[in-house]
Structure 1
């Protein structure tokens, strides 16, 4: 009998604190696809906020903890509903672990870390989640981390196109940043808001009633702008879309 894929889920800070339903929906989809899902309650952050703010030593300590939390069984996959966190592991951790005795362990773990849609499409070879249904018109936002750090573009669209009742509409300049960028939104508020405005205007022009993405941070930023401006457009994480109807 073929062994079920064993998945250790990594829940990012944004999802843990603000969008826990996204983490639960990711589990629902993975279990629907016959994965054995495990959760290590000792996990915390990937270290990205500290790293991007220049606190390299502090982020290094968090990275070492991440490595410890997810190397109990190196045959397991590590899956996160965030290209931002996966991008951190792939692109910043090599510098952090370069001079460390844990470098080989990191390289072994790195091969097993995947963003949610990437795991479904590239590892499980799935582009349709059986039973998934959402009667809506949606447009997909390419987050900077997914597109530029992880090379993710076609996979989420393939999954969305196979959701029953869903119509995928491409917006103009979908690859343009939404304006969040972590502390960028705080340091350069006016620029950040202007970028969100342009992204939302493009989404509205597409005729969609939902903006979908792989990253809750982008969606949080866009949702905050739309709420302030009383714009009737909603956001959904890809995992939330795929879990509809299950």
Structure 2
């Protein structure tokens, strides 16, 4: 299976190890993994802050870049949900031919990205169903829950909002974690509650965001876990900052990093 890694902005910039873990894991499971160099932002920030045209242009570029793959895997429930939920909506409201400004794309190129309503909608319809969160791809597409991982630590899992309510991942991530040898999975009180990040929400409402994060950190610390795991590094970054400031000693790790861990790698 020819699989493309959709790295996402946060991972590409701040957490490249997560992308490397996804590649390691999927290749171990027999996938032919590629990293399309032309990929850029999915447009989530633009759409969420009131710039749908810019978001639409980036969406057009996204479907062009990833159209030829059997599957597209993202280590981010947030960005995967953006593609799955918002791209069809953007396709329904696409104006006549538009092109992405050079500044939005890698290398200064500006290919046409939304030729007409029917063309963009067709490309979205063809590409979007192939986009998956990592845990969804493993469980639903590859049909595996035991990926041969080994991680002898006490772990608690935070289901991020987009993973839980956008992609409806349910127990897929925890099913994968339960199969990891040596791992003790402990339930997180109030797991379904938002951590307070929410992209620009944390910027526009810092006091509320900080209070929500403090509640989440209190619950994490109460589990006695060594590691907090999630499928979105943006949320982990937000929670991790408070964990460090409070000197809890709890580490943050993306699901992909735990699943890519093996006894041989110790």
TM-score by length of 2: 0.88
Q: Which residue among 176, 190, 198 is the counterpart of 1:181? A: 198
Within-5 A mapping of 1:235-246: 235-245=252-262
CA distances 1:73-120 after superposition (whole Å, capped 9, x unpaired): 25x101110110110011111121114221022111111110011000
The alignment of Structure 1 onto Structure 2 pairs a total of residues equal to 239
TM-score by length of 1: 0.95
Q: Which residue among 239, 242, 255 is the counterpart of 1:225? A: 242
Q: Which residue among 139, 143, 151 is the counterpart of 1:125? A: 143
Q: Which residue among 111, 123, 129 is the counterpart of 1:111? A: 129
Shift of 1:186: 0.8
Indicate whether 1:156 and 2:187 are aligned: no
Shift of 1:171: 1.1
CA distances 1:129-150 after superposition (whole Å, capped 9, x unpaired): 12x1111101100100000000
Within-5 A mapping of 1:76-115: 76-98=70-92, 99=94, 100-101=117-118, 102-115=120-133
Q: Secondary structure at the match of 1:92?
A: helix
Q: CA RMSD in A?
A: 1.0
Within-5 A mapping of 1:4-153: 5-71=1-67, 73-74=68-69, 76-98=70-92, 99=94, 100-101=117-118, 102-130=120-148, 132-153=149-170
CA distances 1:21-78 after superposition (whole Å, capped 9, x unpaired): 000000000001000001110101100011111111111111111011111x25x101
Q: Aligned equivalents of 2:141 and 2:59: distance in 1?
A: 24
